[in-house]
Structure 1
Amino acid sequence: MSHTAHIPSHRKPRRRASKVAFRAGVAGGVLSTIAVAGAAAPANAEPVTETIEMPTLTSGLAGSFERSADATQQIALDIESRAQEDAAATKAAETAKKAQAEAERTAKEKKKKAEEEARAKAASAERASRSAERTTLATASKSTGSGDRAASSGTSQATGSAAALVSFVKAQVGDAYVMGGTGPNAWDCSGLVQAAYRQIGIDLPRVSGDQSTAGTQVSLSNLQPGDILYWGGAGSAYHVGVYVGDGQFVGAQNPSSGVVLRSLDWDQPSGAVRVL
């Protein structure tokens, strides 16, 4: 026997190393088995096994895909809704534009019709006025004995060039007034006076202001047939006519009256100028 046989061994008992086996299935949700051998079990002991189910990765991915699909579908629905709203707004705008255009067209037609009716009424009134004035002139001519002597207009007898001038302007009574008109059937005030004097070989300026200083200034109490009457200042007159005797004048007044024979009292002139 060894002399050391009675001495207890200080070495610790040899223990069997633990055996650990991990088996994991990460794809497709496979069941993983982990086998663990107890460290303190005897050498001939059966290994202890425990089976646990690992969570599958695909379940989370599937949920994510489902949420993504729902979000995509919602976006598509939102886009479709906005497209429908835009289409409705565009259609409403087009409808409103058409309605506005139709309203404007109707308003223009009504305005045009009203203007035409107003012009027709004015023309009718003008024709009636001309007819009445011509009747008055015809009556005056008969009362003096002849048309030529009627040019003298009663108490103020016109002779020679003055008689021809007066006869001319009276013959235009009833013609239309047109701004810038110089005859033969439409006149403005200075156009008529200029044409009347041209009949007797005298050229006058074209506008009223110049005609009001074309001769010698005379008093309204000393008028003679053929004198030019003016309204406004001498040199700045805005209207002219021809004195035809017996306190009357002929002038192209305005678009509603045309060429008229009127008494001086109807529209008192500012002054007169004598050219003859």
Structure 2
Amino acid sequence: GKHPKANAIVRWIKTQSPLSKYHQSHWLQNTVRFLKRQPKVGLMMELVALRDINAGEEILMDYGADWDRSYTQHVQNWNHFSSRTNAHVPAFILNRDYNSTILTVLEQKTNPYPPNIQTFCFYSFDEGPINLDAKWNETARELSLRDVISENRSVSELKKMSFNWIESDDLYDNYDDNFFPCKILWRSAVDTNGQEIHTLYNVLLYHQSYDDGAKIPQSVEDTRARVVSEVPRRAIRFVDKEYTSDMHNRKSFRHLISFPDGIFPKKWMDLK
């Protein structure tokens, strides 16, 4: 029988479904050999609520007794600290507080973020539709992290070489074009009309979009990037480095999900 907490179930589509015209129910009476001869898909399943489900309520399915037993055993044997280094903190936890102060590259030398964490910034080019690669070729105004740190460039010198951060309507909606790896160089306090002090960030922004793999180039100290000034805290996010999120943890629970008992015709079962 189904799990007592389940509120939805998978089944073959019924005749009253709008998609029933794509479901050849008579195929269920045929053999597996018949199905293999068909040139296209002709069977469809649907997920159906077993009771009224409230808005925002989690949908729960019965994954089968074997899944249930394996998960119970996994929970009993789980040891978080043996599955990760103690320093690992998922990015979503750090992103809960959008008002927290972001550490600069120099501050991180003595107080580093967890090794799985990197910072990304929302940034929009202000010239309208342009060729991004061409825009990044303004090498005269680009620096590497080594340039900034080892040469001890002054803040005023860096500001002269920087690009201004500009807000745009769809800035936070377009991850492919507006979300880039960045390093925090320094913070500055800005007085807005004598009413409130805001902390703004000046960053080194790398030409590699979030869609390219969410990572800063390997030789980051020597990779040229642009200095962007006065970036607000709301435009900076913590991001998990590639292959460090929880789903890549080798000790995370993984198990096949079974179909409900009795869903397949007996003539399809136990074939040799």
TM over 0.5: no
TM-score when normalising by structure 2: 0.21
Which structure exhibits the higher relative contact order, with contacts defined as CA atoms closer than 8 Å and separated by 6 or more residues? Answer: 2
Point out the structure with max Rg over C-alpha.
1
Identify the structure with the greater helix proportion: 1
